[in-house]
Chain A
Amino acid sequence: MDKTSPALVKFEGVTKKFGNVTALEKNSFEVAKGEFVFITGPSGSGKTTILKLILGEIIPSAGVIHVDGVNVGLLKPNDLPLFRQKIGTVFQDFKILNERTVRENVEVALAVIGLPTDSWEDRVKNVLKLVGLTGQIDLFPSQLSGGELQRVSLARALVVNPKILLADEPTGNLDWDTSDEIMGLFEKINKEGKTIIMATHNKEIVKKLKKRIIHIENGKIE
């Protein structure tokens, strides 16, 4: 693994093409450790593509991406799982395991990183307390509201203590009050030192939190 970048996330002239369609074109930016950055722009501008590139779901057509000193484009398929374990992800559609309880949804992340089971209980309880889901620990997703589902998703992302938290339109399916509560949680987590990169087109939220904005239009950062 190449450890050359001082920034936690660094894009250098990154281009991503899907066939003849250019989703991103020669974009460069950096995100420092502990920073909270919004990636804004209209639908189809390339916000989600940036998050997928950071996560190693897709590789750049040109340019270099460093995440925590690792050149993501050079990662071998067998190294990807370990790399992704350092990154927490929260999605608009929650991506919750519907057949699992809240506790089990969080525990699965601990099982994935191979943490011994005797240390799960404290970790799960602490993270569920942080997101305000202590009372719903044994409920199934079908018994939860949209806001609660997003909290489960956030808890699952945070329980492994990731270096970066990626959030793709985390409030896209939520009403304003619930969105506000969720954003309050993100702010609290960031204040504790966690690096957050959030893609959103919700201008109200961006305005309220007053964080650095990377605005993207037609695949180019402005």
Chain B
Amino acid sequence: MSNIHFKTATDYIRRAPFQALSAVFILSLTFFVATLVSILVYSSSKVISYFETRPQVIAFLKSDAKEEEVATLQHKFSQDIRIKDVKYVSREEALSIYKKATSDNPLLGELVSPSSFPASLEFSASDLSFAQEIIDEVKKEEIVDSVGFTAAIGGESSLKDVVGRLRTITSYVRIGGGVFTGILALTSFFVLLITISMRIATRREEVEILNLIGATKKFIRSPIILEALIYSVVGVILGWSLAFIGILYSAPGVVSYFGDIPVLPKDSLTLLTLFGIILVSELLLGVVLSLSGTFLAISRVKKMR
């Protein structure tokens, strides 16, 4: 039974190929942009998460600080819900980190000893907005010599600026991407509405015959709905595939540019899962678009009669 509806739907598409092409083209463009925006939103949230979870506050300890005092302080802050993690870095570990960072110039490493570096406590905030409060509180501790922070982009002078800039960038990506995708989705909806309305108008005689031989509304509407679904599914698959290929192609360059910041998943399974989720979401959105466009077109034609 569904074969006859599918055949009818594909016949309509074949008879008016330019209408079909315009519908598929605009839907492909919409879902291409939607896929890119989804990846951008994912990447920006990962960037924020990266800055939020890496050690942002480093408390350099006085050289006379005793181990018990350090342990007490570490325990005290690890109980704080604003702090995700507190890590103790000894003088030896600090030297090792320094040597690793200056491995391209071994001479720099040879000139220093563990005594050159103070031991420190590294704090990761559960949310970056807590960092300033943590800095202020850690500064008050007796065994703490000085406090610094590591998260800084664009030369901001305070941690508040870092947080503000990251949140602004992410908001722009989300709002701008959402609005652009929304406009394209609305355009797709209207193109589908016009295409289906024209299809219904050209089928008027056929609908009259089908009514006379006892066809139900479902029977008459099925090929029209199927046609819209074909446009949506083809549009989603084309748009998604183009974005997927583009991102896969540019991934190595992007990943190496951002270094440790995980803008894209590094293992294939997570990357495929991410794209799989986007594909399923877009297919659902495509189905909603085509069904709402079709039913609106049908209701408009009924009103005109």
Contacts and interface: CB of A to CB of B under 8 A. Distances in A.
Contacts of B295: none
A114 B214 contact: no
B226 to A, nearest CB: 14
A84 B4 contact: no
Interface stretch (B22-30, B69-77, B205-213, B241-249): B205-213
Interface string A94-109: 0111010000000111
Given A99-B11, A99-B15, A111-B219, A117 B3 contact: yes
Category for how many chain B residues contact A: 10 to 19
B222 to A, nearest CB: 10
B250 interface: no
Contacts of A117: 1, 3
Nearest to A82: B214
B105 interface: no
A99 B14 CA distance: 12
A109 B15 contact: no
Contacts of A95: 208-209, 212
Interface in A147-201: 156-157, 160
Interface string A75-118: 00000111111110100000111010000000111011110010
Counting chain B CB atoms within 10 Å of each CB, which of A81, A87, A95 scores highest? A81
A85 B4 CA distance: 18
A55 interface: yes
Contacts of A84: 211-214
Counting chain B CB atoms within 10 Å of each CB, which of A80, A84, A89, A112 scores highest? A112
A94 to B, nearest CB: 10
Interface string B200-228: 00000010111111111101000000000
A111 B1 contact: yes
A112 B209 contact: no
Contact of B214 (A83, A96, A97): A83
Nearest to A120: B4
B210 A112 contact: yes
B4 A113 contact: no
A81 B212 contact: no
Nearest to A153: B209
Nearest to B1: A111
A90 to B, nearest CB: 10
B116 to A, nearest CB: 86
A192 to B, nearest CB: 21
20 contacts: A81-B215, A81-B216, A84-B211, A84-B214, A85-B214, A87-B214, A89-B212, A89-B213, A95-B208, A95-B209, A96-B209, A97-B206, A97-B209, A99-B15, A111-B4, A112-B215, A113-B214, A114-B1, A117-B1, A160-B213
Interface of A: 55, 57, 80-87, 89, 95-97, 99, 107-109, 111-114, 117, 156-157, 160
Given A57-B212, A81-B211, A81-B217, 10 more contacts: A81-B219, A82-B214, A83-B214, A85-B214, A96-B209, A99-B15, A108-B210, A111-B1, A156-B213, A157-B213
